[in-house]
Amino acid sequence: MVVQYYDPFHECMPLAELVSYSERRLVETRTMERASRSLLYQERWATAGVLPSEICSYADLRRIPLTNGSHIRQALERFDPQQLVCSESVRLWASTSGTTGMPKWIPRADEDLAFSREMIGRFAYMGTGGPKELPVGVLGGGATLGFNAPAPAVTDALPATSALDGMLLQLPGETIPINYTEAEDALLFSLRRKPQYFVAFPSIAMRVAEVLGAQAPAAARRELAERFTLTRLLAYLVTRVKKIRPRDLLPFQWGVFSGEPLEPYRQAIRQAFGFEPSDAYASTEFLGMMRDCFRHEGIHLWLDCCLAELLPEEEIERTEANPEYLPRTIPIWKADPGQRGDLVVTNFAQAFPLVRYRTSDLVQVVSAQCCACGRTHPRIRILHRSDDVVNVGIARFSIVDLQQQLEGAPGLQRWQLRVGRTGYKPRMVLQAEVSPRPAEEAAWKKQALERLLSVGDLRVAFDNRLILEPIIEIVSALAEQRTYSGKLRRVIYEEDTGSQGGNDGTLN
């Protein structure tokens, strides 16, 4: 087995060297000085007495207050965008989806786009190591089917921008980027183009698998009517006598999945599509895309491109109890395997450097040991959001919005939402203490269900069968689970409590 690297020098640099390399870059790129021009940081850094010239290492960073998504939103509201930009010129503004209200707009300079391009180079080579997983450049082309979210979620336009990067890097291959709201047409077209690679959200991939299973006979019949061949007749007959699997129609060689954790879908995707799926992580704020290697043992976090820290779960709770508290973090390479917390990053971006940016993505450290692929960068798994955004598969909503909706439910005292799965499908159970107990329980539950489905994009997700119908339960007392500061937990992820349902990858 030959492992290929895009940039072997940086990808395989010993960990200790990597750490000092990124500390050196922090100084040489003058990131702190550049960031201090932005009104995003100025006020809070001045209050904390931060002198940018004194920040040269992981240890120094600890003196700087954390910045999070709300800080960016507030800064965008308060200031002229130009007062947040740290470079001479901007080439592109990228926006987040704005689940919790206002989208965040992030500027990128030419240097940032060049950096992202380098990361696409690494990305393309990450799957090397198995006979089926050669990079596009080695295979000499082939089509990639990429499912995106609708505009303006620019993060999700990554397959399209990556295709441009691929052109600039002269990686061969074609891309079919498709908005998942037009999935049906897209699938019929893709059947004809026979893409070899697949980029999607895991839940969308499995929905594709379900739709294909249901629609394959019709599609095969249509093809047969258009032009009769023996192969097509056989294909048609096959769809009649056995349960069609997407792997029979779309012979993908590999697929990369992001936007939600791959883990609960892994087995189902493997069964449906016949390849070992890869896990990827990207965000609009943080430049570059990261993914797992052919070992599939966690996403490699590029330590030469950022200084990465872990904000442990107990520290997150302390911060919730007291927003002024300066929490203690651990450099990610010092965290124990299995340790969980928020990912905090400092990068060297030109237009919008992140300095101790708390992503609010809860991650689990897999290992900081050198990987079997030869790469030395620590490996992590992305679990879910740690702020007031709730992930239910691909669907997201804010707890604040849900609270507002539920306030109108008659007699509702306290509630708790449990987010779990049945098979790979996300499922929510809303438990409610209601007093007085409603005379018409069924009607009350129906109304509560409507209120729940009205937040975020739950309705769309439910209508498109990306999540199962939420269950509403009226209980006499909630099973109390409290935070460090004693507050009742509003949302309980069953994967956190170990009460996760079966992961049998049921394909309906």
21-29, 289-297, 456-464, 468-476 -> range binding Zn ion (CB under 5 A): 289-297
Three-point CA angle 158, 391, 506, nearest 5°: 90
Side chain identity at 473, as an amino acid letter?
A: E
Residues facing 178 on adjacent strands: 147
Site for Zn ion contains 375 (CB under 5 A): yes
Closer CB to Zn ion, residue 368 or residue 371?
Answer: 371
| Closest approach of Zn ion to the CB of residue 3, in Å | 9
Residues 411-440 close enough to bind Zn ion by CB under 5 A = none
Closer CB to Zn ion, residue 370 or residue 406?
Answer: 370
Q: What is the spatial distance between Cα 66 and Cα 210, in angstroms, rounded to a whole number?
A: 43
| Closest approach of Zn ion to the CB of residue 296, in Å | 9
Site for Zn ion contains 293 (CB under 5 A): yes
Closer CB to Zn ion, residue 125 or residue 286?
Answer: 125
Handedness of CA 424, 379, 395, 477 (dihedral sign): positive
Q: Which three-class secondary structure state does DSSP give residue 456?
A: coil
Binder among 220, 371, 402, 455 for Zn ion (CB under 5 A): 371
| Closest approach of Zn ion to the CB of residue 377, in Å | 8
Helix ranges (DSSP H) in 355-422: 399-406
Site for Zn ion contains 301 (CB under 5 A): no
Closer CB to Zn ion, residue 153 or residue 299?
Answer: 299
Instruction: Give one DSSP letter per residue of 191-202, joined into a string.
Output: HHH--SEEEE-H
Helix ranges (DSSP H) in 346-456: 399-406, 441-453
Three-point CA angle 165, 168, 171, nearest 5°: 80
188, 236, 240 from 223: Cα distances, Å: 10, 9, 14
| Closest approach of Zn ion to the CB of residue 294, in Å | 7
CA-nearest of 251, 434, 346 to 32 is 346
12-20, 56-64, 236-244, 368-376 -> range binding Zn ion (CB under 5 A): 368-376
The pair of structure tokens assigned to 467 is: 């999540």
Helices first, then strands: H and E counts in the chain: 19, 21
Site for Zn ion contains 291 (CB under 5 A): no
Per-residue mark of binding to Zn ion, 327-366 (x: CB under 5 A):
----------------------------------------
Closer CB to Zn ion, residue 86 or residue 290?
Answer: 290
Q: Which helix (H) or strand (E) holds 242?
A: none
| Closest approach of Zn ion to the CB of residue 114, in Å | 25
268-276, 371-379, 450-458, 483-491 -> range binding Zn ion (CB under 5 A): 371-379
9-17, 83-91, 111-119, 374-382 -> range binding Zn ion (CB under 5 A): 374-382
| Closest approach of Zn ion to the CB of residue 381, in Å | 13
| Closest approach of Zn ion to the CB of residue 380, in Å | 12
84-92, 251-259, 367-375, 426-434 -> range binding Zn ion (CB under 5 A): 367-375
471-504 in b/e form (b: 16+ CB < 10 A) is ebebeeebeeeeeeeeeeebbbbebbeeeeeebe
Cβ neighbours for 229, distance < 8 A, ≥ 6 positions apart = none
Closer CB to Zn ion, residue 125 or residue 201?
Answer: 125
| Closest approach of Zn ion to the CB of residue 297, in Å | 7
Site for Zn ion contains 373 (CB under 5 A): yes
| Closest approach of Zn ion to the CB of residue 256, in Å | 14
The answer to whether 405 and 450 are in contact (CB under 8 A) is no
Contact set with Zn ion (CB under 5 A): 293, 295, 371, 373, 375
